[in-house]
Amino acid sequence: MGLKKNDRPVGEADDEAVRQLHAEGLGRNEIARRLQRSGRTISVIAARLGLEFTTEQTEKATRHRTAQLAEKRAILADALTDDALRLSAQLWEPAKVFNIGGKDNEYTEQQVPEPPAADKRALMAAATAAAAQSLRLVPPETDTQGLAAVDAWLRDVMGGGQPPAE
């Protein structure tokens, strides 16, 4: 049985790296990610070296990976929010409209003060989709009454949710 396309032989450097990362308390999957090896390969190396992965290591690794994923979701949500803002800005910026057609299949273009209505609808749909995905990835913080942070601030500014005095 030969090596798979991207496999490389396991050597002493791998053994030492697994030993060191295991001593640092990393879990199998995190070691595999760092060494760009499969989890199975790391398990085989660890077993050969007499190393075991404890429940505590696995829990720590899981917490670490969960935090990494939360950070990546926040970065993606931020990028999607930026995309939504850029798309929204294009609604009111000058645009180039073009057409290819006629019997000679000619290209014509024209600058317009803002995009045509159909293009505005497409921009708005794309901006809305980006904003919605951003909110799904990182929902707004809510207080104990289930209000978004901005709503809670507004409630406090307006008198703490009490009806205005007459």
Nearest to 122 by CA among 146, 88, 148: 88
Q: Please tell me the predicted confidence (pLDDT) of residue 8.
A: 83
User: Residue 154: how many CB atoms within 10 A of its CB?
Assistant: 12
Q: Please tell me the predicted confidence (pLDDT) of residue 166.
A: 54
Nearest to 128 by CA among 92, 83, 95, 90: 83
Nearest to 92 by CA among 123, 61, 69, 71: 123
Cα–Cα distances (Å) from 146 to 64, 119, 133, 136, 141, in that order, read: 28, 37, 20, 16, 9
Dihedral sign for Cα atoms in the order 123, 125, 131, 136: negative
The span from the CA of 119 to the CA of 124, in Å, is 9
Q: Please tell me the predicted confidence (pLDDT) of residue 158.
A: 76
pTM: 0.59
Residue 159 neighbours by CB under 8 Å, 6+ apart: none
Q: Please tell me the predicted confidence (pLDDT) of residue 83.
A: 97
Cα–Cα distances (Å) from 165 to 57, 122, 151, 157, in that order, read: 59, 46, 20, 14
Per-residue pLDDT of the chain (166 residues), as tens digits, is 455 545 788 999 999 999 999 998 888 988 999 999 999 999 999 999 999 988 887 788 788 889 999 999 999 999 999 999 999 999 999 999 999 998 999 999 999 999 999 999 999 999 999 999 999 999 887 666 667 777 777 777 777 655 555 5
Please classify residue 12 by burial: count the beta carbons closer than 10 Å to its beta carbon, then call 0-12 exposed, 13-18 middle and 19+ buried.
exposed
Q: Please tell me the predicted confidence (pLDDT) of residue 5.
A: 44
Q: Please tell me the predicted confidence (pLDDT) of residue 4.
A: 55
Q: Are 81 and 129 in contact (CB under 8 A)?
A: no
